A and B are shown apart, each in its own frame.
Chain A
Amino acid sequence: MLRRGFQVAGRLSQHRVLPGVPQVLPRLILTSTFGSSTDSLVSRFCLEKTGLKDYALPNASWCPDMLSLYHELQEKTKTDGWVKLPSFKSNRDHIQGLKLPLGLAVPSDERDWRIFTRCIQVEGQGYEYVIFFHPSKKKSICLFQPGPYLEGAPGFAHGGSLAAMMDETFSKTAYLAGQGLLTVSLSIRFKHLIPVGSLAVLNVDVEKIEDQKVYMSCIAQSRDQQTVYAKCSGKEVLSPSPRLCPATITHRTNGRKNAEDAVPSRDPAS
């Protein structure tokens, strides 16, 4: 199934080759040894790759909140063991040289492919984000600023854009923490809308890792933590085998503070 999946069905009108902006990545200084697999995964993931632009760096569109929190976390990369993850235009650039499960290979013809969360490359128009990961705590913090091209309700980010940001943070965290690769499930409870151009801080925790599955939770909130935008739980697997996908559907109660009446939990599907 997987090998067949690499045959591209649609034909596009043209291929567009984007000019690459060569940028030297900051050198990663590792204080720990390569004892644990997380450390070695992180070091390979963050290897300096010349000729590739790292989009997870400040630019003129970043709001003051995002800039100041970024600098705070950058300081912590020197003292507290946090690591800033690079972010390239395509996942292929990330996985070059990485160990992949059997059956998953890098297709050859994808000059024009972009990772979804870097689909809009004009500064400030789409996704502006940076992910910091802590190898030993197995936590991530993603600073996310949605641009006007991510709009849903007027002036606010589309729910799907936040879902994608959460999925992307889960994906990178799961890979580095437990070699998770594909998302199996996502359960999101939306609480408040994120105004376009403002900062949402996503805190991701790895709850547990068992049976080749990585279970994670995420809270997206404002910087002062006064407004919770959404909560999410997710599961990633290492192997893309369909046997690992459960048949049951999980349901969640909605604990919205501003709901007039309590939302009852739904009956699980049998």
Chain B
Amino acid sequence: MLRSGALRLCPPGALRGPRGSASPPARESRPPPRSFASEAIRVDLSLPNPSWSKDMRLLFDQFMKKTEDGSWKRLPSYKYVSPQSTEVKTFFPDAKPVKGADMPQAQLFPRSLEEGRGFEYAMFHNHVENRTVCIFQGGPYLQGASGFLHGGAIATMMDSTLGACALRAGGVAMTANLNINFRRPIPLCSVVVINSQLDKVEGRKLFVSCNVQSVDGKTLHSEATSLFVKLNPKKV
């Protein structure tokens, strides 16, 4: 899927202040209209917050250590995809905010739920090995079968991780195929590690695969293979 690292803008009401003092964005009414140009605030959500469990924080610290020698890089993650970014303008020239006006009503799906309720994750990329690792904690709004994470939530995170891997390897690409095997259900509110790697590139096709494991590496929860296709700016 398309993940753009360009500038993100947040409505004033949803600003995340010092960790622990963020208030959930108002969900019961529409945000007031505002312009994109007025403020440019990046709020990177791939950072620890109070909802992260101990396991999640430990893993995050482990991976942050790996970034010290430059082989690994932490990937920032934002709530909004700005229609003003270069990539969006190239591949989606008709993209405009939903329901008119210039308010960012839309939110990137895995970042659209409140802190701790939905997807809490951080991704790290190794450009030498073409691997992307995502540490993921699924919150209580991602329920499937009682007590477990919804298959669709796992699919969403796998798609996001595979997409991030494809993006870094080959540029803007869209998911064409996604084949998932679920082996063991993931308990709700637990932490898992999604390891993805680029298998091969054939022209515009990027073959990426991943697996989802428990923190201790002993349980294989699911596996996926996927095909991403690089977008052609002339044809979209």
Do A and B actually bind?
Answer: yes
- Out of B109, B179, B191, B203, name the residue touching A149 (CB < 8 Å): B109
Interface: A20 (CB within 8 A): no
Interface: B116 (CB within 8 A): yes
Interface: A212 (CB within 8 A): no
Q: Are A154 and B176 in contact (CB under 8 A)?
A: no
Q: Are A107 and B147 in contact (CB under 8 A)?
A: yes
Interface: B133 (CB within 8 A): no
B195 CB, nearest partner CB in chain A, Å: 15
Q: Are A152 and B2 in contact (CB under 8 A)?
A: yes
Closest to B203 in A: A261
Q: What chain B residues lie within 8 Å of A153 (beta carbons)?
A: 1-2, 81, 91-92, 95, 174
CB proximity to A under 8 Å, residues B69-106:
81, 83, 88, 91-92, 94-96, 98-99, 105-106
In the assembled complex, the Cα of A239 lies from the Cα of B207 at a distance in Å of 32
Q: Are B178 and A164 in contact (CB under 8 A)?
A: no
Closest to B49 in A: A13
In the assembled complex, the Cα of A157 lies from the Cα of B106 at a distance in Å of 10
B7-15, B38-46, B58-66, B182-190 - the one binding chain A: B182-190
Most buried by A among B2, B113, B157, B181: B181
The binding surface of chain A is classed by DSSP as: loop
Q: Size range of the interface on B? A: 35 or more
Q: What chain B residues lie within 8 Å of A116 (beta carbons)?
A: 141-144, 150, 152-153
CB proximity to B under 8 Å, residues A121-166:
121-122, 125-126, 148-155, 157-161, 163-166
In the assembled complex, the Cα of A155 lies from the Cα of B83 at a distance in Å of 9
Q: Are A158 and B143 in contact (CB under 8 A)?
A: no
Given contacts A5-B147, A245-B182, A249-B179, A110 and B140 within 8 Å (CB-CB): yes
Closest to B155 in A: A163
In the assembled complex, the Cα of A177 lies from the Cα of B12 at a distance in Å of 48
Q: What chain B residues lie within 8 Å of A254 (beta carbons)?
A: 176-177, 227
In the assembled complex, the Cα of A105 lies from the Cα of B2 at a distance in Å of 39
Q: What chain B residues lie within 8 Å of A242 (beta carbons)?
A: 183-184
A21-29, A182-190, A219-227 - the one binding chain B: A182-190
In the assembled complex, the Cα of A51 lies from the Cα of B26 at a distance in Å of 26
Q: What chain A residues lie within 8 Å of B151 (beta carbons)?
A: 164, 167, 171, 182-183, 186
Closest to A148 in B: B106
Interface: B53 (CB within 8 A): yes
In the assembled complex, the Cα of A5 lies from the Cα of B143 at a distance in Å of 13
CB proximity to A under 8 Å, residues B105-153:
105-110, 112-113, 115-118, 137, 139-148, 150-153
Q: Are A9 and B189 in contact (CB under 8 A)?
A: yes
Interface: B35 (CB within 8 A): no
Q: Are B156 and A161 in contact (CB under 8 A)?
A: yes
Q: What chain A residues lie within 8 Å of B152 (beta carbons)?
A: 116-117, 160-161, 163-168
A171 CB, nearest partner CB in chain B, Å: 7
Q: What chain B residues lie within 8 Å of A106 (beta carbons)?
A: 146-147
Q: Are B147 and A149 in contact (CB under 8 A)?
A: no
Closest to A187 in B: B179
B57 CB, nearest partner CB in chain A, Å: 11
Given contacts A5-B185, A151-B109, A245-B182, A190 and B146 within 8 Å (CB-CB): no
CB proximity to A under 8 Å, residues B16-34:
27-28
Given contacts A110-B140, A126-B112, A155-B96, A163 and B159 within 8 Å (CB-CB): yes
A-B pairs with beta carbons under 8 Å apart, 21 shown: A5-B148, A8-B189, A8-B190, A10-B56, A91-B146, A104-B146, A107-B147, A148-B99, A151-B81, A155-B95, A155-B98, A155-B106, A158-B1, A160-B110, A163-B152, A183-B182, A187-B178, A196-B98, A245-B184, A254-B176, A266-B207
Residues of A with Cβ closer than 8 Å to B? Answer: 1, 5-13, 90-92, 95, 104-107, 110, 112-117, 119-122, 125-126, 148-155, 157-161, 163-168, 171, 181-190, 193, 196-197, 240, 242, 245-246, 249-252, 254, 256, 258-259, 261, 263, 266
Residues of B with Cβ closer than 8 Å to A? Answer: 1-2, 27-28, 50-53, 55-56, 81, 83, 88, 91-92, 94-96, 98-99, 105-110, 112-113, 115-118, 137, 139-148, 150-153, 155-160, 174-185, 187-191, 203, 205, 207, 223, 225, 227, 229, 235
